[in-house]
Structure 1
Amino acid sequence: MTISEVSEKFNLSPDTLRYYERIGIIPHVNRNKSGNRDYSEEDCRWIEHIKCMRGIGLPVETLIRYVELYRQGDEANHARVELLIEQRKQLLSKMEEMNRVLERMDEKIERMSKQ
């Protein structure tokens, strides 16, 4: 797939895709005879995974570390799991805070609706 096709498929700009590749959170993308990026299904799976992780707020630095651990192979599985567990804890904490804010907002809406 071309960068334009991947950009459209994942709703990411070509610049974002190039950036992700440059910083190493998308493995090196092969190029065709003309020198243009030629994304494989494996590349697309990485992009989908990275987009998901970014969507829940994982910092780029964490994703870089995750990919580094992935490239180390099975011996780094435990470290990858620990990284994901820590990120999960942080996500749950954020969700709890958002739920508190949502409850306050609902209360305010209810009070204002009765006026």
Structure 2
Amino acid sequence: MTQVEAGLGIGEVAERTGLSVHALRFYEREGILLAAPARRPGGRRVYTEGDVGWLNLCVVLRASGMPLPVIRRYTELARSGAGNEPERLALLREHEARVVAQIAALSRSLDLVRHKVAVYEDLIGHEPQPAQAPA
């Protein structure tokens, strides 16, 4: 069995990454994949486990607020291979600083929300309720 025959279809990759089929095609057009997927006879895309791993990394980076142009630049650097590690590191450190700042801002927001909840619980005489984690 060849690699193309054994690869993953776009639906399987969508399921495993949480991206829609439309988003996968968009990522391909935008140069977010390390390599264009192979094609089966008939033109259907075939992805590898490596593609799934890369896309999962991109999903996390995107969810953390990394803009698509920065993800594209990171992809270009990774695609070009060894020799640009300092630039990749700088890109990731810049993003890390943005994420840390976002966490600090969210923490301040959460403190304020908790304070307001306590004010209203006192006002209407309710027992404080523990915060619930999302299901």
| TM-score, normalisation: structure 2 | 0.82
Please name the residue that 1:5 is paired with: 12
Cα deviation 1:39-76 (Å, max 9, x = unaligned) = 11111111111111111111001101101111222111
What does residue 115 of structure 2 align with?
107
1:9 deviation in Å?
A: 1.8
RMSD: 0.9
Offset at residue 17 of structure 1 (A): 0.2
User: Could you tell me which residue of structure 2 aligns to residue 25 of structure 1?
Assistant: 32
Distance in 2 of aligned mates of 1:84 and 1:51? 15
Identity %: 31
2:100 matched residue in structure 1: 92
Query: 2:112, 2:51 → 1: CA distance?
Result: 42
Tell me which residue corresponds to 1:53: 61
SS at match of 1:74: coil
Measured in 2, the distance between the counterparts of 1:17 and 1:96 equals 32
CA distance in 2, matches of 1:75, 1:8: 34
Q: Point out 4+ residue stretches in structure 1 off by more than 3 angstroms.
A: none
More helix by share: 1
Q: How far off is 1:35 after superposition?
A: 1.2
Could you tell me which runs of 5 or more consecutive residues in structure 2 were left unpaired when the two chains were aligned: 1-7, 124-135
What CA distance in whole angstroms lies between the structure 1 residues aligned with 2:52 and 2:36? 12
Give TM-score scaled by structure 1 length. Answer: 0.96
Using the alignment, how far apart are the partners of 2:90 and 2:19 within structure 1? Answer: 29
